[in-house]
Amino acid sequence: MSRLRCIAIGSGKGGVGKTMISIGLACSLARMKFRTLLVDADLGLANVDLQMGLEPKFTIQDVIFGNTRIEDAVITSPDGPDVLAASSGMTEMADMGQARQQMLADDLITFARQYDFLIIDVGAGIGRNVTTFLTAAPEVGVVVANEPTSIMDAYSLIKVLRQNSSPPAISLIVNMVHSLDEGRLLSSRLNAITEKFLGFSARLAGVVTYDRTVGDAIRARTPVLTFAAGSAVTTCLNDIAREIAFGNPGRARMRNGEAFFKSLTEIGLRPGESEGGQ
């Protein structure tokens, strides 16, 4: 599984376009002929299937509770990537216990061997079920928008990730800005904070400019790459996907795909771990 790259997409604050970006990157990578699996790991407020116009027969919940096999729950979307959807508003999923997390990790270890990229859309915030995936992933993309609460919540998320004994390679994805220059400036401002207090500066993976077609695409339940193929936001997402696929984000210190799942079971399944953290 050494070829598999696992990239978790998170955000300190909700409402910054994290799921749209996860979907866009997965679609773009798939169109570049990379075998791509998009997993909705927002176990409380899942909506990848909704934004993509998919109607999955089975979800992660069915896999965990033994109702189906993971290969039967994964569906191939018409927009390119395979998708493993999650159940929305299911408290038993948001509070998934140790044994069930272990089952999910074991199933994914076996199934994900066939892919080049695993894109994980993780819930917003720094709760335990969020940081379980983020601290296990070799690479994390932190989505941030140009507003004070988003910037400070992104800083809090980065702080939590950096406190891990083996932190992931963290990159920034700036969303909903009016220009590329505004996005680069926002990245610099956030890195000034992380440099001062954490001694760390995150790589800028790319900038996604504000585009009204994103809202139209979400309402149409269609990925923006399909809904508005020639739009500025599609160009931005394709640029970030190419940077992810062909750039050099410090891969030498990244764990490979199989180690992600080992980390997931070791980090996420520790009993008695408290919620959140600073």
Please indicate, yes or no, if residue 181 is contained in any of the structural domains: yes
Please indicate, yes or no, if residue 99 is contained in any of the structural domains: yes
Structure tokens at 256: 């490979």
Residue 34 has pLDDT above 90, yes or no: yes
Please indicate, yes or no, if residue 274 is contained in any of the structural domains: no
In sequence order, the 6+-apart residues with CB closer than 8 A to the CB of 143 are 9, 10, 11, 16, 17, 18, 21, 154, 173, 174, 175
Please indicate, yes or no, if residue 173 is contained in any of the structural domains: yes
* The model's pTM: 0.87
Q: What is the pLDDT of residues 255-276, one digit of tens each?
A: 445 556 555 555 433 433 333 3
Please indicate, yes or no, if residue 101 is contained in any of the structural domains: yes
Q: What is the pLDDT of residues 80-118, one digit of tens each?
A: 999 999 876 555 544 555 566 666 666 676 788 889 999
- The C-alpha atoms of residue 39 and residue 49 are separated, in whole angstroms, by 10
Here the CATH number for the domain that contains residue 124 is 3.40.50.300
In sequence order, the 6+-apart residues with CB closer than 8 A to the CB of 262 are none
Q: How many structural domains are present in the chain?
A: 1
Q: Could you tell me what percent of the chain has a pLDDT over 70?
A: 79
Domain holding 76, by residue range, is 5-268
Q: pLDDT: is 59 or 216 the higher one? A: 216
Q: Could you give the C-alpha distances from 211 to 42, 96, 188, in angstroms and in order?
A: 24, 36, 22
Q: What is the pLDDT of residues 167-199, one digit of tens each?
A: 999 999 999 999 999 999 999 999 999 999 999
Please indicate, yes or no, if residue 157 is contained in any of the structural domains: yes
- The C-alpha atoms of residue 208 and residue 144 are separated, in whole angstroms, by 10
In angstroms, how far is the first alpha carbon of the chain from the final one?
33
Please indicate, yes or no, if residue 275 is contained in any of the structural domains: no
Please indicate, yes or no, if residue 276 is contained in any of the structural domains: no
